[in-house]
Structure 1
Amino acid sequence: MTKTFTYDDVVRYLYAETTETENDLIVEALALDNDLMSFYLDSLDIQSQMDKIVRTPSDLTVSKVFKYSQQFSQKRPTALSF
């Protein structure tokens, strides 16, 4: 019986969330299905672009976080005893 793979399966493969058996079957399906291979290559490109995104908070945001955290005691809570 031939397994039909979906785009969701390809995404799982892309993020290494598939088993070794599934990997082999998905690679075979990619070789036989041009649409699936095209989706895989597009997804691989998108994943690569997303990995390059760097978000840096503004100085104002960092300042507000520090100010908020300074409201709390630096003492650690006492251990619970039973």
Structure 2
Amino acid sequence: MTKTFTYDDVVRYLYAETTEKENSQLVEAMALNVDLMNFYLDSLEIMDQMSKIIHVPSEKSISRILKYSAKESSKLKALPC
């Protein structure tokens, strides 16, 4: 019996959530199914692009965090030991 693979299976494969048996079957299925292979290649590219995203907080966020930290730090210093 041949297993039918879905895009969800390809995503599981990309995130190493498949068994060795599933891996070999999925690789074979992608070799025979152009849509699955294209989805796999597109997903690889997206994963690569996402890993390059740099998140930079705004100056306003940084300022708020620093103010909160200073306020909480002064509260701790005021507590009796």
**Same-fold call, TM cutoff 0.5:** yes
Q: Which residue does the alignment assign to 1:66? A: 66
Residue in 1 that maps onto 2:53: 53
Q: 2:24 matched to 1:18?
A: no
User: What's the Cα RMSD here?
Assistant: 1.5
- Paired with 1:40 and 1:74, the residues of 2 have a C-alpha distance of 52
Deviation at 1:74, TM superposition (A): 4.0
- The structure in which a higher percent of residues are helix is 2
- Residues of 2 paired with 1:74 and 1:46: CA distance? 45
Aligned partners of 1:8 and 1:74: how far apart in 2? 50
> Which runs of structure 2 are paired with 1:22-37 in the superposition (5 Å)?
22-37=22-37
**Alpha-carbon deviation of 1:21?**
1.3
Residue segments in structure 2 that go unaligned for 5+ positions in a row: none
Q: Which amino acid aligns with 2:71?
A: Q
Give the whole-Å Cα distance in 1 for the aligned partners of 2:58 and 2:15.
Answer: 31
2:14 counterpart letter in structure 1: L
Q: Structure 1 CA distance, aligned partners of 2:43 and 2:26?
A: 15
Q: TM-score, with normalisation over the residues of structure 1?
A: 0.81
Q: TM-score, normalised by structure 2?
A: 0.82
Q: Deviations over 1:26-57 (max 9, x none)?
A: 11111111110011111111111111110110
Structure 1 gaps, min length 5: 76-82
In structure 2, the partner of 1:79 is none
